[in-house]
Amino acid sequence: ANKRKPRTPYGADRFIPSSKVANKDLQEFKFSSYGDENDGGAVNKSSAAIRFQDTLAKELFNGDGLNAKVLKFKKVPKPSEHHHNRLRVLYSANREARRARKKNRYISAYPERILDAPDILDDYYINVLDWSSSNILAVGLGPIVYLWNASTQEISTLLDTQNDDNPITSIRWMNDGIHVAIGTTEKTIQIWNVENQKLVRTMKGHNARVSALSWNRHLLSSGGRDSLIINHDVRVATHRISSFEHHTEEICGLEWCPEGDQLASGGNDNKCCIWELSSREPRVDIIDHKAAVKALAWSPHQRNLLATGAGTADRCIRFYNSSNGELFRSVPTNSQVCSLQWSTTNREIASAHGFSQNQITIWQYPTMTKMAELNGHSSRVLHTTLSPDGSVMCSAAADETLQFWKVFEPAVKKKHSRSESKSAADKRNLTRSIR
């Protein structure tokens, strides 16, 4: 019989050992294990390798070497002097960001108080509402100036021109909270001492009604329908020290900056000007507005930041750098802008509006996101003013009401320093010199 040939050819071939006779675990142990010096089966190491291993162990285990225990049930060891944990910096930064992020605070949609304001003039160009540092609200209703003491709730009459053809057109408190300036249709400015209810002096100079006033310590600036701005030093008999002539229509907004070196003026000629007391021409002449510029507000948080608001044909709030007239931002409001008030504590601003929505809006700055919208008035909101602590805003509207809104967080009271006491003494001396 023919023998069958094997399929596997003869010749060279790979040797595949049997896994049954190979102890892989033992081989792997002997290959990878270093052991210690007392282990006879361990692989012997060179002196250089031993020195390297000791050095590495000391660096990793803070000098304890190979005897250090990696897992210990005790507090985390204090890091070395030059150790810098980058993760700690990262997570600490995130934690601070989370702390800084505030939730929108609650702002009531309803006024805390409503007072009647009969005979208030529905006139966009006048300014007849102001709140003093002594917590007394002054409002002009027709020919009469009323005082409302917010601390005692008492109402009194300060001035009555007894002439309906001579209504009050502007009111502004001096910083001392004792004296108030009142502008009238008969072209005069009266300064009253509220503590003793006496007229201190009367100043003239305008050729038409006085529609806007603003104090800068002993300096009173007035703007009128004659398009003239006059600066009065109330300490001296010859009170008129300078005048600004640039507007061509009635001055309806006037505001000194907190530092006292810049005066902003707004007029019915759609202009907003920035003045310095020593100059005869405006340092900045802003012509962006499309309507009369009445609402002017200097930021208490950022120097040279001026907010402006204009009439029905404009309907925008604008933010300017007063040093060069640069426009930071313009925000449409869809309504006539009558008044602006900055919060003294946070970067927030309130705007009061006329046609078409008659609303009060609280905004976050600089994002200009709406925090609240207050719709308590049925007619345009002509004037606003803040309480001494900056938390309550009083609004006067053509619906013949005064409404009080809790819109901002109150300012934190500070202890009086020697410089503040000296400043208060200077104010007392200043008020004695008014004649």
Cβ atoms 293, 284 nearer than 8 A: no
Mean pLDDT of the chain: 86
78-125 pLDDT, tens digit per residue, is 766 666 666 555 555 555 555 545 567 899 999 999 999 999 999 999
Does the structure show a pLDDT above 90 at 26?
no
pLDDT of residue 104: 72
What is the CATH architecture assignment of 113-410+423-429? 7 Propeller (2.130)
Q: Domain coordinates of the chain in residue numbers?
A: 28-76, 113-410+423-429
| Cα 254 to Cα 231: distance, rounded to the nearest angstrom | 12
Tokens at residue 334, please? 């869809």
**pLDDT class for 250, splitting at 50, 70, 90?**
very high
- Is 41 a residue whose pLDDT tops 50? no
Q: Which residues pair with 157 in a beta bridge?
A: 146
Q: What predicted TM-score, i.e. pTM, was given to this entire model?
A: 0.74
As given in the structure block, the two tokens for residue 77 are 């060891």
CB count in 10 Å sphere of residue 351: 24
SS (H, E, C) 134-162: CCEEEEEECCEEEEEECCCCCEEEEEECC
Task: Return the percentage of the chain with pLDDT > 70, whole number.
Answer: 74
pLDDT, residue 253, reads 99
Name the band, by pLDDT with cuts 50, 70 and 90, for residue 69: low
Average pLDDT over residues 260-274: 98
What is the mean predicted confidence (pLDDT) over 144-168?
Answer: 97
Whether the per-residue pLDDT at 425 is higher than 60: the answer is no
Does position 137 have pLDDT exceeding 90, yes or no? yes
